[in-house]
Amino acid sequence: MCKGTINRWVWLSGLTVVLSGGIVHASDPQFYAERLTWLGTLTLRITAVSPGANTQILYNGNPLNVRAGQYQITITSASLQPGVILTNTAFCVDLDHWMTLNRDYTYEVWWARGRAGALLFQQSSFLTGSDLNRKGAGFQVAMWEIAYDHTLGNGDNLNGGVFKYSADTTIKGYSNTLLAGTAGQVAPYFYLRATGRGSQRGQDLVMMVPEPGALVALATGLVGLLARRRRFFSRLGV
């Protein structure tokens, strides 16, 4: 169900599953399966969802009205490893939380590798030309399918599984094209893991690596970080 208006709220849902005394979110399998290295922390705000479209999805059997599309973000502060270069766009992989536009949320930034990265690799080439708003929505729908069904080992099927979509045939067509084009592929990406609790916690987000050169710079920074850690533990005799 919605809170406020669809223009004000990026997402709306308070669904959580309690297991073993802790709160486990449906985005956890993707995070734990694909995260590689912690890169630091940042604070950001979402300023718009564009290109994108208002549409309805089905999540865990619940119909939900959402604004699906590319998040335009502003990073207000960051403490990151050398060589980490971030973009100003992201996509949602977390349907258990909502966010308010133009409000600050804090994140851990992780280097990750998986099919979400393969989809993000197509972001610049796909989100161009005409019909941008439905393309943006289609890209987000494909990302939710990857996050909620592919990660659990389910086949690509927007008509079945945890996440379903049928509201707009054009958007669905774009999503299926993207899913077919990324089948069996993996690539690096940034996973932004939301911190905080309750209304202070945002959605988990994923972000493309901006350019091939950023991979080189990041790898150089990570090598330096590992070398410093090795020297530190060597001094301790570990």
pTM of the model: 0.82
In angstroms, the Cα distances linking 11 to 35, 73, 123, 124, 215 are: 24, 15, 21, 24, 31
Question: Domain residues for 104?
Answer: 17-235
Domain membership of residue 10 (yes or no) is: no
> Which residue is it, tokens 């599953």?
17
Token output for 34: 């694909």
Domain membership of residue 2 (yes or no) is: no
Domain membership of residue 12 (yes or no) is: no
- The predicted-structure confidence for 29-69, as pLDDT tens digits, reads as follows 999 999 999 999 999 999 999 999 999 999 999 999 999 99
Domain membership of residue 59 (yes or no) is: yes
Greatest alpha-carbon pair distance for the chain in Å reads: 62
Domain membership of residue 5 (yes or no) is: no
When divided into structural domains, the chain yields a total of 1
Side chain identity at 5, as an amino acid letter?
A: T
Better-predicted residue by pLDDT, 230 or 69: 69
Distance from C-alpha of 20 to C-alpha of 86, rounded to nearest angstrom: 35
> Which residue is it, tokens 């999540």?
59
Give the helix ranges, DSSP H, for the chain: 28-34, 115-120, 123-126, 132-145, 169-182, 212-235
Domain membership of residue 11 (yes or no) is: no
3-state SS, residue 234: helix
Domain membership of residue 40 (yes or no) is: yes
- The predicted-structure confidence for 137-183, as pLDDT tens digits, reads as follows 999 999 999 999 999 999 999 999 999 999 999 999 999 999 999 99
